[in-house]
Every structure is written in structure tokens, then in C-alpha cells.
Structure 1
Amino acid sequence: MSFFMRTARADDLQTLYEMAKLTGGGFTNLPADRSALAAKLERTEQALARESDGVEDELIVMVLENGATGQVRGTCQIFPVVGRHGPFYSYRLGALTQHSRELSRTFRAETLSLVTDLEGATEVGGLFLHPRERAEGLGLLLARSRYLYIRNHRSRFGDRIIAELRGVIDEAGGSPFWDGLAGRFFGMSFQEADEFNAIHGNQFIADLMPRAPIYTAMLNDGARSVIGLPHPNGRAAMRMLETEGFANPGYIDIFDGGPTMVGEIDSLRTVANAQDVTLSAIHESGGEKMLVATGRLASYRCTYGFINKGEDGSVSLDRVSAEILGIGPNETFTMAARA
């Protein structure tokens, strides 16, 4: 396979912009706005230039490149820490139980509470794969390459990790959750709010929304029915996150109501099972298909490779993958099981 992951560069701007136009809205980490995307690439360049350890408020944009054509066909992002320079708000699903002795009745109400519980976590997001490339496990390569990057730069990340999944968007491009809750306070359509959110963030919602818990029973049926549900195109991503070790503890996005998945970095399947090994030899073909990665910061690369393991502990890698990673015998790389 000639596809591989690398960190993004300034000259990826046009391709990222073209992919952003394919998302269909509600994809706040990949806005169809050149200035916003250019700012993301600039932040990435600054983060990759920093050689010191420690967790900083940075952004790493990564891209999926077809090594045979040079085309970029997917992207994803890593935010080492959220909430460092401003509150990181979520809604937390909860319940309030009340009892009336006179009526001999107990009432249990579902509530949405505005919280900052997830501040300080690492966030992975912005994952998008070109529709024509959604095969051969490339979505998994996009997702899991981020976890190997985090593992191999462990001092730059905290302990907890989150992933916000896009909420349900209707056929007209609207959000039932937005229309039923936040939209009532802002006098703007979801499309207008989506564009503003993608460029400026969702702080404006938190600034103006009520701070008291909201009873979901007071929302319309459309809004209630989508609370905590991912966009239909995000269901596979949710399953991948669950397989990786993320859970859904009841946090949702204050913008579109999509679920926020939460995990512990060191417990993620990819991180826990990865191994650093020394390349013993290069072979032409065959072997077990695995995730392989090497390099630090701007030189990081990750791809699927074919591994042969000897009884003496030796490890050989197929030539195509070795060339993508730029490694030869006696050099070290990281490998993790594909499934």
C-alpha cells in the first residue's frame, strides 16, 4: 500500500480546502474557510518546530497521502490540550428525581448541565477521508496514526483523551438539536452558527446560554430524539472509537448535540499494544499486515506494512513500507497490530 500519514505542511492548504467543501457542514474542525485552515497549518508548523517537552495549547494537523500520486486524500487533527486558554464547555446528561408525598408520585427528569469536566484532556478530531478512498482500512489508518503519534511524543500529552463526534444534521443542512435549544436564544440558523463556530469556536454559545440545568422534556421532539447521537456518517467512527477503548459517559456537544467519547491515553488499544522494534531485514512481499510508524514531529510517518517475525525475535518489513518510512536495517520503528 502506498498510502501513508504525515504531518501537514503549508502547501496542503488547497487540498484541505477542497476536502472541507465535501464535508456537508457541521464539521467544525475542518471549515471550508481558507483563512481558518491556513491558521491551523501555521499552528501545526509552530508545534512541530518546538523541541521542548511539556503539554502546550497546540494543534497537529495530519494528512493521508497517496505515495504513488502525491495526492492528499484524508486528514485528521490532534489538540494536545483543551481548555487551557478558555473554558471547554460540554453538556452532561444527568437526571433529577423528585418526590411528592401528597401525590404519592416520583418524577425523574433528564437534564442537560453545562460543565467544564473535560478541560485538560487531549482531543482528537477533524477526521475526514475522501469519499473515493473509503476502503482498504484507510479510515483506521487515519484514526490510529494519531494514537501512535501521541505514544511516540508522550511527554507532550496528558492522560485523558476525548473525541467529539458530529451530531445529526437533517437533509436541509439544519441541526434539530440547535433548532430546539441554542437556536432559540441566538436568532440565527444552524448554517450561520456553523460557519461562525468553525472560525471562532463555540464560546459564544456558552456565553449566552442559560447556566442552569435544562430539562430535556422542555425541548421539542426533534431535539430530544437526537441528543447524544452521531451523524449517520459518524457511526462507523463511533464504533472504531469504542473498539480503541473510548466510552460514552454522557457528554454531548453544546452546538449540535453529538456525543463526546472519552478514554485514557495509556489504555487505548493502539498505545498499549504498540512495540518499538529494530528492523532486521527488508523483504519484497508477504507478511502480517500491521500499522508501522517512525520519525518525530515533522518527520513522523505512519502506514500499513507487512511484517515477518523470526523465531529469534528478528523483524523484517516489506520494501515498499520501508521506503515510505525511510528506514533500513538496524533502525528502529514502531509497530502495532492492524485489528
Structure 2
Amino acid sequence: MTFIIRAAGLADLQPLYEMAKLTGGGFTNLPPDRNALRTKLEKSAAAFRREADEPGDDLFVFVLENTATKEVRGTCQIFSAVGLKWPFYSYRIGALTQHSEELGRTFRADILNLSTDLEGASEVGGLFLHPGERAGGLGLLLARSRYLFIRNHRPRFADRTLAELRGVIDEAGGSPFWDGVAGRFFGMSFQEADEFNARHGNQFIADLMPKHPIYIAMLSEQARAVIGKPHPSGRAAMRMLEEEGFVWENYVDIFDGGPTMTVRTDHIRSVREAVDNTLTRIDQSLADGEIGEKRLVCTGHLASFRAAYGWVSAEEDGVAIDPACAAALQIGEGDSVTHVARW
């Protein structure tokens, strides 16, 4: 059984909608709304068509497809530059230290500062793997294929890349952070705000969010406890990001308080370690595990981009690949491929 990553199209709307209903809320980039998803797919199609080699307001949506059944079993996204259409807001945790000579005490207060520091960065997000496929390294295939796409279309992306991890959501689908901070100013529940943001963008945040710093000590215990914490289902994603070189620099999401991870784009591990070669031979003995190693392989430009796991063996003037991978990627001898170690 082989899985590939490919560009999403309008024909993928229904399976994306079905997966969106499984996310459990707080997943802004994959809303359970057909119209919003259709808009995303249309924007993605326009991005794949655009040939200009420079950053723009692009969204690239990919899907994970089972090549045997043609079922879509996962998805991921890349935003080439955030904050071009609407401001990209984050909270940055800062500190204020004050000293009283009379009391002989020094106080350090942690503060949430509304920030647009990350505007212009590229963003990887929208990663969702169907619960029935959470084995065999498919989550890594989804995640890392994005970095290979960025590498092979590097002029279209920024020098900094971010990833927002979903924050803690309670059993009722609410957000302790939202209830303790923004919910006090918006007159709507977390679910309502999350849905509105998915459909209409976050300009309403600019209109209504208080611009003054917020002292964390003044928040409820429940809100304080989840600041910078990922949703339990996102801990593995956080570890994958850390393996790629992402770090948490005290930025948190304004909706649910989840951590926003950042990295210099050229320092992403998959970007740094990937290599380009010519396919010189398709060899069944690789699939039998006699030689070579299993690697992440991709090929293609823009909408023709495809990625899959394959058995690869280095040769004097290129690489050999197993037949299943070559068929999945629709490549033959003489074609160019990019590959990186599976780890």
C-alpha cells in the first residue's frame, strides 16, 4: 500500500469536509464548513497556477491519498506569507520587573502583549491525518512534504516560518484561554469566534481586541494553566516541529493560547538535508529490502508536486528507486527527484 502527497483540488471537497468534522473544534485552518473549504481550495488552485517567483498571498492545500483506493486520508497546508490581507495577531509573553525600596521587594509580572511581529512569515498548518491512518509514519509524511515543497519553490516563501499549534480545548469544546481573555471583550463563545474567523478572517480581532497589555496574574487559574500548552492531540506535532528546528519564542495564539513555533526557513532540517538527484534506475530489489534505505521522495513543480516514501539507493550518477514509489510519483529514468532521510 502506497500513500502520496499531492495538490488538492475541488474534487477533494467532500473528503476534506468529512475530515473537518472529525477535528473536534479549534482547528481554524480546516473548518467543518463546505463554503469555507471551497474558498480555500479555489485559493489554493490559484496559488498553484501563479508562476511568479516571489512571495504572495498564497495558500497551498495538499492531500494524502491512498494510491490503491484513491481515498483521501489526510491534509496539510502552507501559507506563503501571513498578514498580507489582514493583520496577523499573536500574543507575546513579556515581563515587567519592578522594585520597591520601602518594601525591600522585587516583583516580576508576566504580561501578554498583542503583537504583529510575525507578519510576513510563511506558515505551515492545517495538518490533519484521519484517525484510521495514524501509523506507519504518515503524519511525518504529511508534515515533511511541506518543507520539501518550500525548499523546491524557495523564492515564493519568507525567510521565517511559523506553525501554530492548537491550544487546550475542554470537554465541552470551549477554550479556557478564550474564556479568560478575549471572550470578555467579544460577547461570543470560543466556538462562535473560531467559526467566524474560519469563514471571514480575523479583522474583527483588530476591531475589538484590547490593545493594552494584559497581566497574566489577573487571569483565572484555568486560563493561566493553558498558556503556551498544546492540545493533548498536538504534542506529537510539537515534537515533530522541534525535530525540524522550530522553537517556542513565547508567542501564543490569541484564540486558545496554544504555542506558536518559529524557525528560520533555511534552517528547517528537511530543507537543509534534502538532496537532488536524477533517477537512473527503477529496481524491484530495493522494495525487497535487499539494498538502499527508505526515504521521503518528491518531484514536480507547483500543481504537479508529489511526495511519497520510497526505497532509495545512491548510484554513481544518480539514484535508484523502487517501482511502487516511482509509479506513485509518476516518474521514470532521467527525471529529477528530491529526497531526504526518514527519521
Give yes or no for TM over 0.5. Answer: yes
Unaligned runs of 5+ in 2: none
CA contact (8 A) 1:202 1:255 kept: no
Contact 1:110-1:217 within 8 A present in 2 as well: yes
Is contact 1:182–1:205 with CA below 8 Å preserved after alignment? no
In structure 2, distance between residues paired with 1:41 and 1:65: 16
**2:80/2:121 contact within 8 Å kept:** yes
Matched, 1:49 2:49: yes
How far the C-alpha of 1:157 sits from its partner, in A, is 0.7
Partner of 2:332: 328
Equivalent positions of 1:92-241 (< 5 A) are 92-241=92-241
Q: 2:322 matched to 1:318?
A: yes
Distance (Å, rounded) in 1 between the aligned partners of 2:219 and 2:325: 53
Counterparts of 1:202 and 1:181, CA distance in 2:
16
Paired letter, 1:329: E
Q: Is the 8 A contact 2:81 2:157 kept in 1?
A: yes
Aligned residue for 1:85, secondary structure, equals coil
Shift of residue 314, structure 1, vs aligned partner? 4.0
1:14 matched to 2:19? The reply is no
Where 2:241 maps in the other structure, the secondary structure is: helix
Q: CA deviation at 1:220?
A: 0.2
CA contact (8 A) 2:280 2:317 kept: no
| Displacement of 1:279 | 1.0
Normalised by the length of structure 2, the TM-score is 0.97
What is the CA-CA distance between 1:294 and the residue it aligns to? 0.2
Letter in 1 for 2:310: G
Residue 299 (structure 1) shift: 0.5
Give the distance between the partners of 2:225 and 2:205, measured in 1 at CA.
Answer: 21
Aligned to 1:29: 29
Tell me, in whole angstroms, the C-alpha distance in 2 between the residues paired with 1:170 and 1:86. 29
Number of residue-to-residue matches in the alignment? 338
Alignment correspondent of 1:296: 301
Give the alignment's TM-score, normalised by structure 1: 0.98
Unaligned runs of 5+ in 1: none
Q: CA RMSD in A?
A: 0.9
| Alpha-carbon displacement from aligned partner over 1:28-63 (angstroms, at most 9, x marks no partner) | 000000000000000011111111211110100000
Contact 2:93 2:113 (C-alpha < 8 Å) held by counterparts: yes
Q: For 2:257 and 2:202, how far apart are their aligned partners in 1? A: 13
Mapped pair 1:61 → 2:61: yes
* Residue 85 (structure 1) shift: 2.1
Distance in 1 (CA, whole Å) between partners of 2:129 and 2:143 is: 10
Distance in 2 (alpha carbons) for counterparts of 1:198 and 1:114 = 20
Amino acid at match of 1:103: L
Percent identity at matched positions?
Answer: 67
